[in-house]
Structure 1
Amino acid sequence: MFVDTAQVYVKGGDGGNGIVSFRREKYVPEGGPAGGDGGKGGDVVLVVDEGLRTLLDFRYQRHFKAPRGEYGKTKNQHGANAEDLLVKVPPGTTVSDADTGEFLGDLTRHGQRLVVARGGRGGRGNTRFATAANKAPEIAEKGEPGQERWIRLELKVIADVGLVGFPSVGKSTLLSVVSAAKPKIGAYHFTTISPNLGVVESGDGRSFVLADLPGLIEGAHEGHGLGDQFLRHVERTKVIVHVVDMAAAEGRDPWEDYLKINEELKLYNEKLAERPMIVVANKMDLPGAEEQLAEFRKKLGADTPVYPISGVTKEGVQQLLYAIADLLDSLPERDETLIDEPVVEERKVYRLEEEPDEFTISRDNEVFVVHSAKIEKLIKMTNFDQYDAVKRFQRILKQMGVDDALRKRGAEDGSTIRIGELEFDFVE
């Protein structure tokens, strides 16, 4: 089964908790704090594996969670950082945030890596909270939560040449006679419902990858027929081979077919209209094809060559392969017009960005609700069983101006305050 889209949940590992510990040595009666920091949580990293061809595996596993960091240890020893979770994807995979649509990366080469969910840093042990005023703090942070998100994966097959054209114009037949690929061939529309790839030898030592792509119909750019399930894959090709049924076997006008397909490509992505194209007149072994070809060439003009072939008898196929190989040789090694988005070499981030101090306050009946990403993360990293940790939490809220803002909104002694999942009483 060929699967070219998937939506998966990824979560970086939480940081390990810091610990509260004190030196306990025989000749040190009043040992100081010795609690170590927790280790960093693992990242979720996408890695390109050239052995994969589809996103089928993501049909059966949609959740990926990296391991958390190790807890801090006594004697000021840090907990170990967690291993990254490596998730294999096929070459040609583009990645975006499923909720915001933010483009995250374009993975095209074997071994290329992209961090899609960063692990949280480890919580600090009580050694890190020692001050001149409090030399024996009984406070340690919990590990920072790892980043979590839903991401969308889209596979765009990577081929040098893409065959386009209306259904049943002979694209699959052409692929089968020029390569070892065995696409499904039938005398009905949409025989091909997913891209087929074949390696083609031109006969003079050159080779290229040819993709037989599902047939287009009018309105494909809006999702009609196979729609953008097909058009997505054209974006990767360096050269477009436009196959036209010159025998008009189904009563269609070859010239109108040619114009409609080009219009669909342009409507989907204007850059496709600028892609190098070779026009192929197929089914030249059928009656009426020569007359149709003469009329077609007259409308097309002498500047654009047309290659007449027969996929069944193989007539003209060798000349076509030479022309494709010559055109590929004339193109730059990498055509930067193939991809709209910037290619991400590798993203490796070792610390999360600090959330801003902004917060808002709303009312839920009698409850005052504080909205702040920074405070909600602070709650997750605070151990409310520790008295010093509670005092620190209160002090941070006051420094951020939350106390004064609550008073201005009408909060009084005993009012209920909610931040995230935590509820507590406001105390003057």
Structure 2
Amino acid sequence: MKFVDEARITVQAGKGGNGCVSFRREKFIPKGGPDGGDGGDGGSVYLEATESINTLIDYRYTRHYQAENGKGGQSRNCTGNKGADMILRVPVGTGAFDEDTGEKLGDLTEPGQKLMIARGGFHGLGNTRYKSSTNQAPTQSKPGQPGESRNVKLELKVLADVGLLGLPNAGKSTFIRSVSAATPKVADYPFTTLVPNLGVVKVEEHRSFVIADIPGLIPGASDGAGLGTRFLKHLVRTQLLLHIVDVAPFDDSDPAENVQAIANELEQFSPGLAQRDRWLVLNKLDMVPEEERDARCNDIVERLQWTGPVFRISAINREGTFKLSCEIMEYMEARRARAEDDEEFAEQILAERDQVEAEAREHIEMLAERRRQLRELNEDDDDDDYDVEVIYLRE
């Protein structure tokens, strides 16, 4: 199935049913009084998170959704039926945004969680509601209110604790295969990973975390080069970034410069994301003679002036991968415990995540606007060329 992480839909909630104007008419009761019932509320539109699907592809083909209208009230004080709600099932990790205002409607991060994105119209009132001592035979009623209508943008961000960064062919897919049961494609050419892959890393019984492998980045990715910013947004909700580095690139490029190039792309995409905890993982040690490993790894770290944690692994041989997994698990547990005990720290985590999401959305929208302007410019240039050609032929 094709992986789709964005979709735009239009939703229309149901209209409330109209109130009824009616009077009681029974034998031997000439003046029965008003008995018009209220209408029913219109159905609302909800998103519901489910683990049974992992893509938004269905919403690329069907874009309009409408909930049922409420039924009108009836005589004998009968209330109209409420319109049925429309439930749209989406993958866990989906966020909803109002396309017209940019307002964030909410996130669905737990299976079974629901989010109302369009409220049904309120029911109309029957004439029974208007009777009083001075108005014993009211002929007025109230119509039902229209339901909300929205243009909604759905964005799926994979839910992972750890995100993998690195150039194509740095060994990210091999690493996730070595520490989890995930089986992303591995080959000896760049961009073998075209969609995010998730893997559950189980350190021991009841101790595990989720790791996400996104397609490799290249210089200029923040401006749309390669796979561009399409998958960078999937790192927004991660707590830790692992920067996988090939210590022996087949193209003889400088590993330290490769690290700095990716760091620059992160900074341009989202300064907040660039400040997130990031560990350096020197991979493919099996490609370096054992007596040269220390010197090569130390040289990379020194030239980067790296002050954070550094790990040396060979993902294909699973050398050093278990130790790294244990360190990640301890980091996650310590972070989780601190968030539970320190309310200020927990609020800081949420604020940082919101900041990164806002920066990512702003950057993506900026690129989309730039592409639109370039398309318009190219169309104008094509028109100018055609005009010049016509003038030349006439001469």
Q: Secondary structure at the match of 1:331?
A: helix
Residue by residue, what CA displacement relative to the aligned partner does 1:297-356 show, whole Å, maximum 9, x if unpaired? 22244743321111222222222222222222221266425620799xxxxxxxxxxxxx
2:327 aligned to which of 323, 326, 345: 323
Q: What's the counterpart of residue 228 of structure 1?
A: 229
What is aligned with 2:23?
22
Distance in 2 of aligned mates of 1:312 and 1:113: 42
Aligned-pair RMSD on alpha carbons?
2.3
Deviation of 1:267 after TM superposition, in Å, equals 2.1
Take 2:157 and 2:215, find their aligned partners in 1: how far apart are those partners?
13
Instruction: Tell me which residue corresponds to 2:63.
Output: 62
Distance 1:80 1:13, change over 3 A: same
- The one-letter code of the counterpart of 2:315 is G
Q: Which residue of 2 aligns with 1:198?
A: 199
Cα offsets for 1:395-418 (capped at 9, x unmatched): xxxxxxxxxxxxxxxxxxxxxxxx
Normalized against structure 2, the TM-score is what?
0.81
Equivalent in the alignment of 1:295: 299
| DSSP 3-state at the match of 2:354 | coil
Task: Give the aligned residue type for 1:51.
Answer: S
- In the alignment, the residues of structure 2 paired with residue 302 and residue 222 of structure 1 have an alpha-carbon distance, to the nearest angstrom, of 26
Where does structure 1 lack aligned partners over 5 or more consecutive residues? 344-428
What SS does the aligned partner of 1:208 have? strand
In the TM superposition, what whole-angstrom CA distance separates every residue of 1:284-305 from its partner, at most 9, and x where no partner exists? 1114773432211222447433
Q: TM-score, normalised by structure 1?
A: 0.75
Whether 1:336 and 2:350 are equivalent positions in the alignment is yes
Aligned counterparts of 1:184 and 1:337: Cα–Cα separation in 2: 35
CA drift of 1:202 comes to: 2.5
The answer on 1:261 being equivalent to 2:262 is: yes
Alpha-carbon offset, residue 206 of structure 1: 2.7
Distance (whole Å) between structure 1 residues aligned to residue 212 and residue 313 of structure 2 = 18
Moved over 6 A (4+): none
How many residues align structurally?
343
Does residue 304 of structure 1 match 2:308?
A: yes
What letter is aligned with 2:28? Answer: Y
Q: What is aligned with 2:106?
A: 105
Q: How far, CA to CA, are the matches of 1:85 and 1:205 in structure 2? A: 37
Q: Is the 8 A contact 1:107 1:113 kept in 2?
A: yes
Q: Distance in 1 between matches of 2:19 and 2:244?
A: 65
- Mapped contact 2:273–2:356 kept (Cα < 8 A): no
Aligned counterparts, 1:105-144, within 5 A: 105-130=106-131, 135-144=136-145
Q: State the shift of 1:25 in Å.
A: 1.8
Matched with 1:162 is 163
Shift of 1:186: 1.8
Matched position secondary structure for 1:229: coil
Describe the shift of the 1:112–1:148 C-alpha distance in structure 2 as closer, same or farther (beyond 3 A). Answer: same
1:5 deviation in Å?
0.6
Q: 5 Å matches for 1:26-425?
A: 26-130=27-131, 135-202=136-203, 206-287=207-288, 290=293, 291-301=295-305, 303-332=307-336, 335-336=349-350, 339-340=353-354
Distance in 1, Cα, partners of 2:187 & 2:233:
24
Question: Partners in 1 of 2:144 and 2:156 — Cα distance?
Answer: 35
Provide closer, same or farther for how the CA distance between residues 337 and 143 of structure 1 changes in structure 2, counting only shifts above 3 A: closer
One-letter code aligned to 2:318: K
Q: Which whole-Å CA distance do the structure 2 matches of 1:278 and 1:342 have between them?
A: 19
C-alpha contact 2:197 2:214 (8 A) present in aligned 1: yes
Higher helix proportion (structure 1 or 2): 2
Structure 2 CA distance for partners of 1:172 and 1:132, relative to 1, 3 Å = same
CA 1:127–1:155 in structure 2 vs 1: closer, same or farther (change >3 Å)? same
**Separation in structure 2 between the aligned mates of residue 42 and residue 128 of structure 1, nearest angstrom:** 23
CA distance in 2, matches of 1:301, 1:340: 30
Deviations 1:351-386 (A, max 9, x none): xxxxxxxxxxxxxxxxxxxxxxxxxxxxxxxxxxxx
Q: Is the Cα contact below 8 Å between 1:16 and 1:72 reproduced in 2? A: yes
Structure 1 CA distance for aligned equivalents of residues 279 and 207 of structure 2: 18
* Cα offsets for 1:193-217 (capped at 9, x unmatched): 1100111123576321111111112
State whether residues 18 and 122 of structure 1, in contact with CA within 8 Å, keep that contact through their aligned partners in structure 2.
yes
Quick one: structure 1 residues 337 and 212, their matched pair in 2 at CA, closer, same or farther if it must change by over 3 Å?
farther
> C-alpha distance in 2, partners of 1:257/1:22?
82
Q: Does the CA-based 8 Å contact 1:247-1:292 persist in structure 2?
A: no
Q: Which amino acid aligns with 2:80?
A: G
Question: Deviations along 1:209-228, whole A, 9 cap, x unmatched?
Answer: 11111111222223322222
User: Aligned with 2:215: secondary structure?
Assistant: coil
> What letter matches 1:306 in structure 2?
V
Unaligned segments of structure 2, at least 5 residues: 340-348, 358-395
8 Å CA contact 2:46, 2:86 repeated in 1? yes
Measured after TM superposition, the shift of residue 276 of structure 1 is 1.8
